[in-house]
Amino acid sequence: MFKKVLIANRGEIALRVVRACRDLGIRTVAVHSTADRNSLHVRFADESICIGPPAARDSYLNIPAIMSAAHLTGADAVHPGYGFLSENARFAEICERSGIQFIGPTSESIALMGNKVAAKRAAAAAKVPLVPGSPGPVSSAEEAEAIAEHVGYPVLLKASAGGGGKGMKVVRERSELRAAFQVARGEALAAFGDGSMYLEKYFVRPRHVEIQVFADHHGKVVHLGERECSMQRRHQKVLEEAPSVSVDKGLRDRMGAAAIELCRNVGYRNAGTVEFLLAPDGGFYFIEMNTRIQVEHAVTEAVTGLDLVQMQLRVAAGEKLPVSQRDVRIHGHAIECRVNAEDPIRFSPSPGRIVGYHEPGGFGVRVDSFVHDQAHVLPHYDSLVAKLVVWGETREEAIRRMRRALHEYVIEGIQTTIPFHLRLLSDPEYVANQVHTRFLDKYLPAPAPADSAVSGPPGGAR
Ligand code: MV4
């Protein structure tokens, strides 16, 4: 096992990794910006090093500073968390070449899945069902038109270097395609320095369901079931569940087998997530793969009883997976609410100092957070302040427990999305599980003009 792990992240996930290391008897090194000097991940780590000023590009994205910190402290592994450098193939490669274990997949796997066209090719090679669309990149508006004619409108133009909803544009009919293609390509070029586009049939109200996979360094791959992630706002997940009520045993087995086959085919290692769209008829279609531990991993932990971050550490150190597929049991139902420092109506950031803080507790309640009374929520970073995760024997019990926990949760001094979650959890359509990826559109503040931003949601709603 590793002797010392450097955590190249901040906030709740940095603390999550510090705790997993402690549980395993591994020493930890926290890195932090000047603004995060008094953060809990710094306080609870064995050592800490300042890596730069508040702006992420100068600190948590500063590869030379982080590598220097790793060498200086003699860390033998780096955990990248999520966001920041977690899906940066160059960073993983630098770790590999410096003899520091990157806790995640190989740099080649990260690069492969980062190119969404290459990822789809890999999925096709593994016989994973794909959304109908272009078999590769589309290089001209004419080519896009020919393919759109074939798959039928509406279609979705996606940037090959995008992902997570960045660089997508819906095209409703043929007359819009030419202009949309040029605009989307220009936006992709500006945002990613790469104008490669591909095209898919646009599914209007699919569910977004993802499979958690895990692979060790000995060729063993398992899946840990699915998460229902349809509750998104502007491509930010708001609430996640495990399992998905729309997935029965047969479908779970088929999606899981497809995800495992993809991992086997590319020699995948460590934790990963295979994202699918689920059509109303139960058809499932690969869209992309995330090569990191995700924010919502805790709902999978709650229903499987497995510590996924501990498993990441074990597997990266060369240990065999502690479970085989038949040991993986999904028990009960878990829900995660992302508590953000945001105005609960407009969702604009609300950083500041917390002047009163009380966390919920009790049976089946978990809070993963880095805040406390008098903590500062900084404007430099994303607005997630806590993940509130509840477990129940059934979805109904989990919903009631979540309402109870949200009512107990006191965060004063900043605005949070707690009131929004309370509204959502009493929405009859949500409670009846009549959800899809456009569900939260009805909670958006005001209808806006037709969407054209590269990072905006398809369909024009903002
Ligand atoms: C789609 C889609 C419908 N049709 N692709 C968004 C995030 C990224 N991982 C892929 N996403 C989607 N891809 C096709 N062909 C719907 C989504 C999508 C979505 C779209 C609009 C509003 C919210 C959404 C939430 C999840 C997925």
C-alpha 454/C-alpha 183 separation (Å) is 9
Question: Mutate which of 153, 437, 439 to test ligand 1's pocket (most atoms within 8 Å of Cβ)?
Answer: 437
Write the single-letter amino acid at 452: S
**Quick one: average pLDDT of 303-318?**
98
| pLDDT given for residue 404 in this prediction | 98
- Name the DSSP letter for residue 58: G
Classify domain 4-101 by CATH architecture.
3-Layer(aba) Sandwich (3.40)
Residue 396 in this model has a pLDDT that exceeds 60? yes
Tell the CATH topology of 207-446.
D-amino Acid Aminotransferase; Chain A, domain 1 (3.30.470)
Residue 66 CA to residue 71 CA, distance in Å, equals 9
Return the ligand 1 atom nearest residue 201 CA: 15
Per-residue CA distances from 145 to 18, 179, 199, 214 (Å): 51, 11, 10, 39
What is the rounded distance in angstroms from the CA atom of residue 450 to the CA atom of residue 156? 15
Compute the distance from residue 73 Cα to the ligand 1 centre, in Å: 42
Mean pLDDT throughout 347-359?
96
Looking at the chain, the domain(s) classified CATH 3.30.1490.20 span: 132-201
**pTM attached to this predicted model:** 0.94
Question: In angstroms, what is the span from residue 124 Cα to ligand 1's centroid?
Answer: 19
What's the pLDDT band for 164 if we cut at 50, 70, 90? confident
**What token pair was written down for 43?**
């306080």
- 173 by Cβ neighbours in 10 Å (0-12 / 13-18 / 19+) ranks as exposed
Question: DSSP secondary structure string, 164-223?
Answer: TTEEEEEE-SHHHHHHHHHHHHHHHHHHHS---EEEEEPPSS-EEEEEEEEE-TTS-EEE
Q: Where is 336: in which H helix or E strand?
A: strand 333-340
Between the CA of 83 and the centroid of ligand 1 the distance, in Å, is 19
% of the chain with per-residue pLDDT over 90: 89
- Locate CATH 3.30.470.20 in the chain: 207-446
Predicted local distance difference test score (pLDDT) of residue 251: 97
Pocket perturbation via mutation, ligand 1, pick of 235, 286, 439, 451 by most ligand atoms within 8 A of CB? 235
pLDDT number for residue 417: 97
pLDDT band at 59 (very low <50, low <70, confident <90, very high): very high
| Catalytic residue selected from 16, 207, 269, 292 | 292
CB contact at 8 A, 303 and 331 = yes
Q: What is the mean pLDDT of residues 185-206?
A: 93
Inter-axis angle of helices 297-304 and 308-316, nearest 10: 100
Residue 451 DSSP class: P
Ligand 1 pocket mutation pick from 170, 236, 277 by most atoms within 8 angstroms of CB: 277
Task: Work out the pLDDT band at 78, boundaries 50, 70, 90.
Answer: very high
163 pLDDT band (50/70/90 cuts)?
confident
Question: % helix / strand / coil in the chain, to the nearest 5?
Answer: 35, 25, 40
Work out the angle between the directed axes of helices 116-125 and 107-114 (0-180°, nearest 10).
100
Residue partners of 348: CB distance under 8 A and separation at least 6 = 342
Return residue ranges of the chain for CATH 3.40.50.20.
4-101
449 band by pLDDT with thresholds 50, 70 and 90? low
Please state the atom number of ligand 1 nearest to the C-alpha of residue 441.
22
77-79 and 101-102 beta bridge pairing: parallel
Would you state the pLDDT for residue 261? 98
Residue nearest to atom 12 of ligand 1 (CA): 165
Mean pLDDT of 226-241: 94
Helix axes 89-97, 63-73, angle to 10 degrees: 30
Report pLDDT digits (tens) over 89-119: 999 999 999 999 999 999 999 999 999 999 9
Half-sphere exposure of 61 (CA within 13 A, CB side): 11
The pLDDT of residue 457 is 40
The structure tokens listed for 24 are 């395993």
Please, which residues have CB within 8 angstroms of residue 235's CB and are 6 or more apart in sequence? Answer: 164, 165, 166, 455, 457
pLDDT of residue 425: 97
Tell me whether residue 401 is one of the annotated catalytic residues.
no
State what percent of residues in the chain have pLDDT above 70. 96
Range scoring the smallest mean pLDDT among 211-225, 344-358, 423-437, 438-452: 438-452
Whether 458 has a pLDDT exceeding 60, the answer reads: no
Please give the pLDDT value at position 165. 75
Q: What is the DSSP string of 373-397?
A: TT-EE-TTS--EEEEEEEEESSHHH
At the fourth CATH level, which superfamily is domain 132-201?
ATP-grasp fold, A domain (3.30.1490.20)
Quote the mean pLDDT of the chain.
94
What does the pLDDT average to over 419-429?
96
The side-by-side arrangement of strands in the sheet containing 221-233 is 284-290, 270-278, 207-215, 221-233, 236-242, 333-340, 384-392, 365-369
Band of residue 60 on the pLDDT scale cut at 50, 70, 90: very high
**Average of pLDDT values for 434-457?**
68
